[in-house]
Structure formats: structure tokens, C-alpha cells
Amino acid sequence: MEHKIRVLVAKPGLDCHDRGALVIAQGLRDAGMEVIYTGLRQTPEQIVAAAIQEDVDCIGLSSLSGAHMELFPEVVRLLKEQGADDILVIGGGVIPAEDIPKLQEAGVAAIFTPGTPISETVDFIRAHVKRGSVS
Amino acid sequence: MSELQEKLEAWTEKVEKAISKVPERQERFVTSSDIEVNRLYTPKNGDEQEYLEKLGFPGEYPYTRGIQPTMYRGRYWTMRQYAGFGSAEETNERFRYLLEQGQTGLSTAFDLPTQIGYDADDPMARGEVGKVGVSISSLADMETLFKGIPLDKVSTSMTINAPASVLLAMYIAVGEKQGVSPDRLSGTIQNDILKEYVARGTYIFPPKPSMRLITNIFEYCAEKVPNWNTISISGYHIREAGSTAVQEVAFTLSNAIAYVQAAIDAGLPVDKFAPRLSFFFNAHNNFFEEIAKFRAARRIWAKIMRYRFKAENPKSWQLRFHTQTGGSTLTAQQPDNNIVRVTIQALAAVLGGTQSLHTNSRDEALALPTEESARIALRTQQIIAYESGVADTVDPLGGSYYIEALTDEIEARVWEYIEKIDDLGGAVTAIEQGYMQREIQQAAYQTQKAIESGEQIVVGVNKFKLDHEPQPELLRVNPELGRIQAERLAKLRSERNNEEVQKRLQSLKQAAEGQDNLMPYILDAVRVYATTGEICNVLRSVFGEYRPALF
């Protein structure tokens, strides 16, 4: 049987604007992926624990509050610490262009800012998930 | 003489009397070709009865044409730019800059830790201090925020919900220190928790104790802070979360019904608190729909208050509202285009009869506004007010076939939703069941799909794109602020009278466990520099925290 790609959509920090996260979650589901949404106000520790427990292939982080430079790399660091850095980490939200290369250096594979069609995110995830026999 | 003629004359007489006390901005209003602009245009012939029932005169039931008889011919709307970032010092500086530039009211953005009741040094505040608003952990920060700003001269709006009682108490305490008594303070606290559960997420406590805090504030302010708008029932965030214009009005008014009912159930007479209720709406790009939306909202609310809640004071029937242009309509691509979007939206708000307005800045899809973009946003309002002439007659689009038909249609669809929510058991139940959330999320997803298919055009995003976008200058919040604020708090905690703080927090706890109005206890705690986090933690320990079901 085909393994469906599993994605954890997460809102790190206190930022509560989750329209983008919810729209993406719906879009990924419509594209045939299994999506788990963490809900609001998750610490990086909680996100990483949920990702490992749910055995996801990808974590999508969403932030609009400006806390991304502190919280996104922390998720990557914790994944590494737990030996789970084969999980693909991507991000989205209100993120200035000049921050994107720094986040990529820190291990966030890609940042999708507003205006990105959902299909672009879907294609990226399909092309970059590293784990097992995924479709 | 026809009934319309008679009523028009009676209205004119009343208005003339009012004007003899507070005159209009000009003696004569004219267009650039020296055509006299009348105060008001009404149908000359046609269905007069329909006019009287559906529109009426400005300042009269059902207020479709506005809540004041002369609207902006007397005074422009309040130009109230939402501002706040970083430390209290930085925000104080921005406040003063905006006042110097001709802004007429203040509006405070708090950072997320403050909005969720965490001090700047709380582990939950990590990465968020000062980011989307100013960090206020104690009265000391609040004193700095309003340093040199006389609270009896300026009205202040504060976007704060779950800890609204705490921040209002701090504002009252700053007033005391400035020698301004609470009855001379004017402004608004948002204090709309239901919308937080629906759309914005900065809740702390479960619905029931939240509703208690809100009615406590209604009651306290009716006594002590009579010029304070005790709630701003907000459709803004519902719309930003993806709702349609109809859903924005329907869900906001349904939430408003829940607040009014809660206050009545708590024993408050409706005419005692209802005149201090205010509303907050969004203005998006669909120009005529937005104008009609505001007019419909006023008419529906007047009916609800008059017939459903049997309010007798006409002030209780009036829907007064602040408007903010639509943040989610702005694009990171070609940010200067946002100035044009904001102009259209602001114009819709003015033509819809708003009482105060915030215009968004061009760079808000990228970061917090720089001083320059905040100034352009304010200038946009000033140009509409002082140059365009749209403020020279009351409800200039009233009577337009299109606008009136849209107003009727929006009203009809809003009533359908209100009835549906009534059937579900009211707004609180509808929210607990996720009904509003699901409706909004569905609308948001439809919008995204329409944009992706090209059915809905977003200039610069899915049409008329640029190959190379120049990067604008962005405002950056000092990343060290979290540490600096934490050090300040440590100093405050070592210098204040901690015994007194503990005593007052203990009294607050006891009061929270009982039935007393909590405002006096919170004010007592704030006065001795108990922090936002300490006060909210006491309330958390009694009320618990809200954990939503995921939809």
C-alpha cells in the first residue's frame, strides 16, 4: 500500500493568526497528504515532540509575528538533537526576503510567503521529503 | 404636505438647533465649480414610505444614513492610527510623532505576551517581546508609554482582550498619577473575547469567566469611567481570518447579542451600559459592498436593540464603529500598490459613516510600519477629509439604486445567519461547536482557490507581476528587547513593596473565587506594580485556561 506523506502544520510561539496555516492544511489534504495541525501557541519542544510521535515526513511552520528567526531554527536544532533531522522543515508567513537565506542556512528547507500557490508547496514537499517509501 | 416633507422639515429644525450650539465645519459647502453641496439628499418623489422605514434621517432610527445628524459636516471622523512596537519608550515616541502629524486619537498595539497575560520574562514570551506591539508588563511601562501625553486631552484605544481589565486599570492608574480623574478619561478597550475564540486566538480563560470579566468592566465603567467605551465588538479579525462581508457583520452582531444578554443576565439595565458599546469593522476592496455593509450593520443593530432588547434610549440603538482597512488585502509584492488599496478602503469606510479610522501602511505585509509609511497612511485619511469633499454631505451614496439594493441584500443575509446562530443556542454555543470557525475557514479556502485559479485578481500577485522586486526598507524590532525588558522587570520586582503586592494578589484571588466585581481588586494590585503576568496568573489559577477543540 502506498504511504501517504504526513505533514505537521504548526504555529510556534504566541502568534495566533492561523488563516494561512489552516488554508495550507486544507490544501495539502486536498492534494492527498495526511495533515496534523497542532493548534496555536506551541513551543518548539512541543512541535518536535508531536512531529516525532506522529512520525511525520514534514513540518510546516507558520508565523506572522516576527518571531521566526528565534523559533524556526530552534525547531531544526531540536530535531537534530533528537536524531530526527530527516524530517523536512519548511516555513511560511510574513517573513522578510532578507531573512530567508538565513533561515535556509539554519536548516529550514524553504520559506513560502503569501501569494505562493498551494501547488508550489505541494510540489516542493513531494520532491524533498527524505523519509521511506513515500508517494 | 407629504409625510416625507413633514419629517424632513422637523428634522431640519432639530438640526438647525443643534448647529447653533456646535456649528458645522464651514458655513457653506461647495464643489470646485461652486455648486452648493446640501447637507442631505433625499428622494424627491417615489416611495416615501419605504424611505422613511428603511433609511430615515441621519441621527435618527434606524440610522442607516449615519448616527449623527450632520456627520462629517460637524467634525471629521477620529484619525486613529494603530501603533505600538518594541519598548514603551519607542512607542511613546511614535505616539508623539503621530499626534504632531495631526492624528486625533491614539490606538495602542500590544505585543503578544501582553495580550496573552505573560510578563516579558516569562518563558512563553520567548521571541515575541515587542514584536507585534508594545511590551507592557507593569504600571511602570504604562507610565512610560503615556509620558508627556495628557490623558484628559486625547482619547486612547487599546487593542486588548483577555487582560483588558488589567490594562484598563493601568490606564486609570496613569490618569491618577497625571491628576486626571477616571470620569475624564475617554477611549476604548477592545475587550471582545468571543472574537478571540472565533478568529484571533489571544484568549486566556474559558468563555464563562471571560464573560464575567467583561460584564464587571461594563458595570465598573458605568459608575466610574462613564466616557469609556467598554467594548469594541470586532468584526475586523473575523474578516481577516477569511470571512465574507456578510459573515463579518453577522458574527459580530451575534457576538454583540451575547454580550448584551450576559450583561442583562448579570442584572445590568440595558440602557445603562448599551450606549457605551462600540464596534470595530474591516474595510476591504469591494468598494460598494463595504459601504453597504456599514449601512446595513447600523440598521440591523438599531432593530436588535430596540425590539429584541427593548432599549429605550436612542443612544442604545446607535451602532458606533471604528474601521481599519484590510490587512489581509495587502501584498508583499509591489508594496506601494497597498497605498492605493488603502485609499479605496478608507474611502469606503468614510462613505459608510465610520466614527474613527485606521489606515494600514504600505509595508504591513512585510513587517511593522516604518515612520514614513505610517505617515503616508495618515496622510491618506487627511487627503480624503480635507481635499476630496466626500465629507461635505451626509451619506452621499444614500439613494443610489445599487447601494440601497446591496444594503437590503446584506441585511437579509445577515438576519439569516443571526437566526441560525440563535437556533444553535447563541454565539457562545455556536463558537464552542466551531460553527463560526468552520464557516470562516471555508470562506478563506474558497478565496485562496479563487485567487489561485485566477478568478479573483490580486494585482502584482497573480496578474501584472514584476520580475524583480526591489526590497523596501523595513522596521526591525531590537532583538535584545526581551532581555532588556526582563532585566527591567527584575529591577521592578526588587524595588516594589512585595509584601503589599502579595497581599493584593491574594485579595484578588479571593474575589475571583467569589462573586465580587474584580475591577477594584485589579486596580489595587496594579497601583502597587503587580505585573500583567502576576495578575493574569492569579486569574488563571481560579478560572483555568481555555483549550479549543481543533476543527
How does pLDDT run across B484-524, given as a tens digit for each residue?
999 999 999 999 999 999 999 999 999 999 999 999 999 99
**Taking 80 as the threshold, does the pLDDT of residue B244 lie above it?**
yes
Q: What is the DSSP letter of B324?
A: E
* Residue-level pLDDT at B48: 84
**Dist. CA B60–CA B241, nearest whole Å:** 33
pLDDT digits (tens, 9 = 90+) for A71-130: 999 999 999 999 999 999 999 998 988 999 999 999 999 999 988 999 999 999 999 998
Give the Å distances, CA to CA, from B405 to B43, B315, B390. Answer: 15, 27, 21
Does B34 score more than 90 pLDDT? no
pLDDT above 60 for B551: no
- Residue B190: φ, ψ to 5°: -65, -55
Q: What mean pLDDT comes out for the span B18-33?
A: 89
Beta strands in B396-530 (DSSP E): none
What's the average model confidence in pLDDT over B143-155?
Answer: 95
Element holding B15 (H helix, E strand) = helix B3-21
Residue corresponding to grid cell 481543533? B550
| Mean pLDDT, range B139-164, rounded to an integer | 96
Which of B410, B407, B414, B412 lies closest to B439, judged by CA?
B414
What is the pLDDT confidence band of residue A131, given thresholds at 50, 70 and 90? low
Which residue of chain B is at minimal alpha-carbon distance from A19? B241
**Residues in B touching A13 (Cβ below 8 Å):** 112, 126-128
C-alpha cell at B283: 474595510
pLDDT averaged over every residue in chain B = 94
Instruction: Determine whether the interchain pair B200/A27 forms a contact, defined as Cβ–Cβ distance below 8 Å.
Output: no
The string of DSSP letters for B35-84 reads: PBPPS----SSS-HHHHHHHT--TTSTT-TT-SSSSGGGT-PPEEEEEE-
d(CA B144, CA B488): 13
Q: Indicate if the pLDDT at residue B353 is higher than 50.
A: yes
Query: Contact, B443 vs B272, CB < 8 A?
Result: no
Question: Which own/partner contact pairs does A94-98 have at CB distance under 8 Å and 24+ positions apart?
Answer: A94/A63, A94/A64, A94/A66, A94/B332, A94/B365, A94/B366, A94/B367, A95/A63, A95/A68, A96/B366, A96/B367, A96/B471, A96/B474, A97/B471, A98/B471
A65 in B contact zone (CB under 8 Å): yes
Question: Which DSSP symbol is given to B100?
Answer: H
Residue of A nearest to B443 (CA): A23
Q: Tell me if chain A has a CB within 8 Å of the CB of B365.
A: yes
pLDDT (mean) for B413-442: 96
The answer to whether B550 contacts chain A (CB < 8 Å) is: yes
Question: In chain A, which among 21-40 make CB contacts under 8 A with chain B?
Answer: 22-23, 26-27, 37, 39-40
The larger pLDDT score, comparing residue B357 to residue B126, is at B357
Quote the pLDDT of residue A135.
45
Among partner residues B128, B333, B368, which is closest to A14 by beta-carbon distance? B128
- CB contact under 8 Å between B128 and A40, yes or no, is no
Q: Which of B240, B458, B471 sits opposite A98 (nearest CB)?
A: B471
Is-contact A13 B112, C-beta < 8 A?
A: yes
Higher pLDDT, B514 or B30: B514
- What is the least distance, in Å, from the CA of A65 to any CA of chain B? 6
Instruction: Write out chain A residues lying below 8 Å of B85, CB-based.
Output: none
In chain B, % of residues over pLDDT 70: 99
Which pLDDT band, with edges at 50, 70 and 90, does B233 fall under? Answer: very high
The sheet carrying A58-63 orders its strands as A34-37, A6-10, A58-63, A88-93, A110-112
The DSSP line for B168-199 is HHHHHHHHHHHT--GGG--EEE---HHHIIII
Question: ipTM of this model?
Answer: 0.89
Residues 125-154 of chain B with CB under 8 A from chain A are 125-128, 131-132
Query: Which of A8, A19, A74 is most worth mutating to test chain B (most B CB atoms within 10 A of its CB)?
Result: A19
Q: What pLDDT is stored for residue B202 in this prediction?
A: 95
Contact residues for A82 (Cβ-Cβ < 8 A; gap 6+): A48, A52
Report which of residues B160 and B365 the model is more confident about. Answer: B160
Helical H runs in B325-370?
A: 337-351
With bands split at pLDDT 50, 70 and 90, how would you rate the model's confidence at A42?
very high
Beta carbons of A13 and B112 less than 8 Å apart: yes
**Per-residue pLDDT averaged across B37-46, rounded?**
82
For chain A, the residue count is 135
Interface of B with A in 33-92 (CB under 8 A): none
Nearest to B331 among A65, A71, A115 (CB): A115
Q: What pLDDT is attached to residue B477?
A: 81
Of A17, A23, A67, the CB nearest to B128: A67
Nearest CA in chain B to A28: B445
Query: What proportions of chain B, in percent to the nearest 5, are helix, strand and coil?
Result: 55, 10, 40
Of A27, A65, A115, the CB nearest to B332: A115
- Amino acid A1: pLDDT: 52
- Written as nine digits, the cell of B383 is 487627503
Question: Do B536 and B123 form a contact (C-beta atoms < 8 A)?
Answer: no
The count of other CB atoms within 10 Å of the CB of residue B525 is 26
Whether A67 contacts chain B with CB within 8 A: yes
CB-based contacts of B156, cutoff 8 Å, min separation 6: B105, B106, B107, B108, B146, B171, B186, B187, B188
Question: Residue B45: pLDDT band by 50, 70, 90 thresholds?
Answer: low
For residue B113, pLDDT over 50 is answered with: yes
The answer to whether the Cβ–Cβ distance between B127 and A70 falls below 8 Å is: yes
The rounded percent of chain B whose pLDDT value lies above 90 is: 88
Which residue in chain A is spatially nearest to B202 when comparing CA positions?
A16
> Residue B43 in contact with residue B399, Cβ under 8 Å?
yes
Of the pLDDT bands very low, low, confident and very high (cuts 50, 70, 90), residue B43 is confident
* Chain A residues 3-22 with a CB less than 8 Å from chain B: 13-19, 22
Nearest-CA neighbor of B166 among B530, B551, B545?
B530
CB distance A22–B202 less than 8 Å? no
Which chain A residues have a beta carbon less than 8 Å from that of B475? none
**C-alpha distance from A119 to closest chain B C-alpha (Å):** 9
User: Is some CB atom of chain A closer than 8 A to the CB atom of B318?
Assistant: no
The whole-number pLDDT of residue A133 equals 47
**Kind and range of the H or E run holding B140:** helix B139-145
Binned at pLDDT 50, 70 and 90, residue B119 comes out as very high
pLDDT of B116 > 70? The answer is yes
Provide the 8-state DSSP code for B355: S
